[in-house]
Amino acid sequence: MDVNTFELRPDPSGGFDAFIDGRFLRSMVYAGANQSECPLTLMRRELDFDAALGQIRRLKAEDPGDFGADRVWLYFCSNCFDPGCGGLGVRVEVSADVVVWSDFSHDPEPDLDEEADEPAPLDELGPFTFERTGYEKALDDLGVYLRAVFAEVHSPAALSRPVALGIGACVSRRSLRLRDPKEGLQWTVGGLPLARILQKSLGRIVAKPERRKLSDLVHSPVQERGTPYGPAGGEVLEMLLGTRVFTDLPGRVPLLIGACLEIPCGAVTARVRRLEDIVVWDEFQAHDAGFAEPFHVFPHGVSFTFDLRQHDETVRQTLNSL
């Protein structure tokens, strides 16, 4: 039986990818494509550790696959990492001595309400057979390394360092495929979509009905010029600048809303504190219409510190563009 070599190495995207027989798997799958736009693994420093650890555990068959007991997604949309955009899946079979990757295909998310595309098999790729001990050691070693990285990044000292606030077009490939224009402008924190950061903080313990409601609250209340939502978005920007108060929940600001793009229908809000030279967003909560008690409170560690000048410049520039 032929055995393939398996390593995990930093790839040109800054994440980690399977390095099989001296080649990055991603370069095999997307040969000839613009690699900067191709899907990525979750084993990355800029995502949260739970995302990376979850993929490592699924590749070791310690957790069930993303959409099937033995089927694991390797690559996700590089723009938003949202499963709704589809992914590159593989069948992972673990036996006493070897691990086999087979049946590679581009997979749609099976739970889409809309009619989903059929999987697109990559018949020319694989199967690959790896010696189990070396395969699991490579995954375990990466897990140890990423745990140390995230411990440093999320230390109290690191959390107090400002990150950059941004807002801009951030439409998922799923929306482009469905010609859905609703995602519009999106907040980014340190270059990553705020909605994606909050979604990844949910972990696996959130009940399905609650998760479904939260999955809708991923749209920015600030939409581009020319839409009917400009006034509401402008008011949110003024709340962030401290010149207006959110009357439903004073001291808080609605940052993410549902697909209806109407703030009164429900929102994810944050406490926004403007201090001497920083702005802090923390205590994130999700609310139904009416803004009574929150139906979900995000983990306490979800907190962002911005340089006051950079934060306000970004907000003012966006406000002036509406």
Instruction: Note the pLDDT tens digit of each residue in 129-156.
Output: 999 999 999 999 988 888 877 665 555 5
Give the closest residue to 285 by CA, choosing from 201, 209, 221: 201
Q: CA 244 to CA 234: how far, in whole Å?
A: 10
Element (DSSP H or E) covering residue 308: helix 308-321
Stated pTM of the model: 0.55
Give the pLDDT score at 179.
Answer: 44
How far is residue 286's CA from residue 268's CA, in Å, rounded to a whole number?
4
DSSP reduced 3-state for 113: coil
What local confidence, expressed as pLDDT, does residue 55 receive?
Answer: 92
How far apart are alpha carbons 220 and 185 in whole angstroms?
Answer: 6
Per-residue pLDDT of the chain (322 residues), as tens digits, is 789 999 999 888 878 999 999 999 999 998 887 777 788 999 987 677 788 888 999 999 998 876 667 789 999 888 777 776 778 999 999 999 999 999 999 887 655 444 555 677 888 898 999 999 999 999 999 888 888 776 655 555 555 567 788 887 654 444 444 444 445 678 888 777 888 788 877 765 566 678 788 888 988 898 876 677 778 899 999 999 999 999 999 999 999 998 888 999 999 999 999 988 899 999 999 999 989 889 998 877 788 899 999 999 999 998 998 7
**Closest to 172 in 3D by CA, of 164, 183, 163, 162:** 183
pLDDT of residue 226: 67
Cβ atoms of 178 and 260 closer than 8 Å: no
Per 3-state DSSP, the chain is made up of helix, strand and coil in percentages (nearest 5) of 30, 30, 40
pLDDT value of residue 44 = 84
Tokens of 108: 């749609």
Residues 6+ apart with CB under 8 A from 151: none
Amino acid at 88: L
How far, in Å, CA of 37 to CA of 33, rounded? 8
